[in-house]
Amino acid sequence: MTHPLVTRRSTLRAASLDRDARTVEAVASTGADVARQDARGPFIERLDLAAIPLAALNGMPVLNAHRQGSIRDALGVIDAARMEDGALIVTIRIARGDEGDAALDLIEDGALRGVSIGYRAARASEKKEGGARIRTISPQIAEISLVPVPADPGATIRSQTVEDDEIETIERPEDSDQTQTRADINREIRSIAKDLGLSQRWIDNQIDAEPTTDEVRASAFAEIRKRPGPIIRSTSTGEPDAPGALIARRGEALYARANPGHELSEPARRYANESMVDIARDCLRRSGATITGLSSGELATRALHTTSDFPLILGDAVNRTLREAYRAAPSGLRMVARQTTARDFRAKHRVQLGEAPTLEKVSESGEYTRGTMAEARETYSLDTFGRIIGISRQAIINDDLGAFANLSGRIGAAAASFEAMQLVKLIEANGAMSDGIALFHGDHGNLADSGAALNETTLSAARLAMRKQTGLSGDMIDVTPRYLVVPPDLETTAEKLLSTVQAAKTDDVNPFARLTLIVEPRLTSETRWYVAADPATVDGLEYAYLEGAPGPQTETRQGFEVDGVEVKVRLDFGAGFVDWRGFYRNDGA
């Protein structure tokens, strides 16, 4: 004896659609991970759905693909909301009228199934998982939209079911344990898999496990949470998808408004006349936030406290101003120092090789003798220095570019001055070298026996002492003087001494005209002066930045200490003398 197996050829429809009441149930969000991009690169955005106040969703607007430009974009409202198996479920009531009727037809036909939420970040936190950046957001939902393709693949009109069109009976073996209920559940499994793009393997595993309908839905939600959604970039028509391109262009345009002398690049020219509030408005629009009817103050506040690009654009403008001021600051002793890099903050060991051994005549038998090179080692290390610049909300609303351009410019100049001061402290400290002797010392042959005024005679003695310097092996190395370093008190004397004149006779020729004058106002002695060799040819004073981060670096975040944006300026910098032979000191008189 056999039992009949009943099958149905069916037409899909939205199971929860009530055409008369104009309501339909939808999964607004499953909390699935969505891959996104910002100026720092790709990251995974994860929503904390448990933090959503469900009561606040009642009466919330349902829009057409997040459009807000017309009342025709309003398709309905939310009648109810609840959490189910970790997903946010809403009941949507579609509005009457042409747009609402068209939406109902598309939903009933199964052609419109995607749902998307528009939200602001009430709170956000970030961490690393397996090398990936995970940003968890507590969303403050502003609207829900019906969309063709949702970012969350599980956010759809509630699961499809069937309508009977034709019933077919098939004979099957008596010992089959299949029932009509199991067949319906299996069809539900296949229907859910088709709607959500789940694999055949998932279908087979579900059928083998013989779950209930609720268990099938819970498994489907769990499965789609494992996969990322599409990468969403905040770009407008005509904007390239390159990460950070829009931020850099708007940052440049903002910088140019504060610095009229800057020649804008062609891609940034289209943003030349935007105010900070204009930028905030567009950043919010790009992030999917509701901006209709917001005042300038509300736009600035929301742009500062969402995942929009607004803080990054302000940070880019600050960074440009800071770096320009940093480069323009007087270099001082940096001209007589060599720049290098360090891979980390451990002591940097600078090995100094002596001069090469003298070549010797090869004997008739062709035997070569071995030579050696002496070496010495000096060390110094990097330290981290920094400050935070605050850009207030009031400055943003007032479009007061000078409020942060002047401050960031001063910070840039201060960074350059700080580096120069570190070099001055080194040269004035006269610390001990690796041989235990002070940097400037008679045993090093780079210190005048007694202080004397800067003139032709004392400068000639300095040059002679440098020419007679010997290397680690005791051989002459002939150091060539290049710079004369003086405090401001000796500037006039030095200029006269180094000035080039048209000599009428040999005795009037200026032998020091090739020296370059450096006036360092940070030197504390009014009489002490120095002569230095070219750092490109002779080791001496050296300064280093952390590898890949030359000069001051900036980071931007929403204000915690101020109501606005905070820009952190960090400088990883270190300096030290690696040889004494390229410098000479006279204490003056």
pLDDT digits (tens, 9 = 90+) for 65-86: 888 777 888 899 999 999 888 8
Q: Does residue 225 come out as left (phi exceeding 0), alpha (psi in the -120 to 50 range) or beta? A: alpha
CA-CA distance, 321 to 257, in Å (whole number)? 11
CA-closest candidate to residue 289, choices 309, 269, 271: 309
What is the tens place of the pLDDT at every residue in 146-171?
Answer: 888 777 777 788 644 333 334 344 34
CA-CA distance, 427 to 337, in Å (whole number)? 11
Banded pLDDT at 177 (limits 50, 70, 90) = very low
Q: How far is residue 370 from each of residues 71, 121, 367, measured CA to CA in Å?
A: 92, 72, 10
Residue 503: alpha-carbon gap to chain centroid = 59
Torsion angle in degrees (nearest 10) through CA of 270, 276, 282, 288: 150
CA-closest candidate to residue 112, choices 97, 126, 99: 99
What percentage of the chain carries pLDDT values higher than 90? 18
Is 396 within 8 Å of 313 (Cβ atoms)?
no
Q: For the whole prediction, is pTM greater than 0.95?
A: no
For residue 457, the model assigns a pLDDT of 92
**Cα-Cα end-to-end distance for the chain:** 124
Per the listing, tokens 């690796």 go with: 434
For residue 587, the model assigns a pLDDT of 95
What is the tens place of the pLDDT at every residue in 315-340?
Answer: 888 888 877 877 777 677 888 998 88
Banded pLDDT at 178 (limits 50, 70, 90) = very low
pLDDT above 50 (res 525): yes
CA-CA distance, 88 to 248, in Å (whole number)? 37
CA-CA distance, 570 to 500, in Å (whole number)? 43
Banded pLDDT at 452 (limits 50, 70, 90) = very high
CA-CA distance, 64 to 148, in Å (whole number)? 10
CA-closest candidate to residue 460, choices 395, 531, 540, 383: 531
For residue 460, the model assigns a pLDDT of 93
For residue 424, the model assigns a pLDDT of 94
CA-CA distance, 517 to 81, in Å (whole number)? 77
Q: Where in the chain is the domain with CATH 3.90.1690?
A: 335-361+372-589
As assigned by CATH, the class of the 335-361+372-589 domain is: alpha beta
What is the tens place of the pLDDT at every residue in 217-271?
Answer: 778 777 765 654 433 333 333 344 344 677 888 888 888 887 778 888 888 888 8
Mean pLDDT for the chain overall:
78
Is 219 within 8 Å of 211 (Cβ atoms)?
yes
Q: Where in the chain is the domain with CATH 3.20.16?
A: 10-161
3-state secondary structure 284-341: HHHCCCCCCCCCHHHHHHHHHCCCCCHHHHHHHHHHHHHHHHHHHCCCHHHHHEEEEE
For residue 6, the model assigns a pLDDT of 38
CA-CA distance, 332 to 361, in Å (whole number)? 48
CA-CA distance, 529 to 519, in Å (whole number)? 10
pLDDT above 80 (res 530): yes
Structure tokens at 183: 């067949």
Count helices and strands (H / E) in the chain: 12, 22
Is 271 within 8 Å of 245 (Cβ atoms)?
no
Banded pLDDT at 543 (limits 50, 70, 90) = very high
Pick one of 1.20.1430, 2.60.40, 3.20.14, 3.20.16 as the CATH number of 10-161: 3.20.16
Alpha helices in 391-455 (DSSP H): 393-397, 401-429
Banded pLDDT at 369 (limits 50, 70, 90) = low
Alpha helices in 385-539 (DSSP H): 393-397, 401-429, 456-467, 491-498
> What single string gives the DSSP state of each residue in 131-169?
TEEEEEEEEEEEEEEEESS-SSTT-BBS-EEEEEEEEEE
For residue 503, the model assigns a pLDDT of 42
Structure tokens at 105: 């037809």
CA-CA distance, 346 to 351, in Å (whole number)? 15
Is 345 within 8 Å of 381 (Cβ atoms)?
yes
The enclosing H or E element of 533 equals strand 529-533
Most confident of 99-103, 228-232, 561-565: 99-103
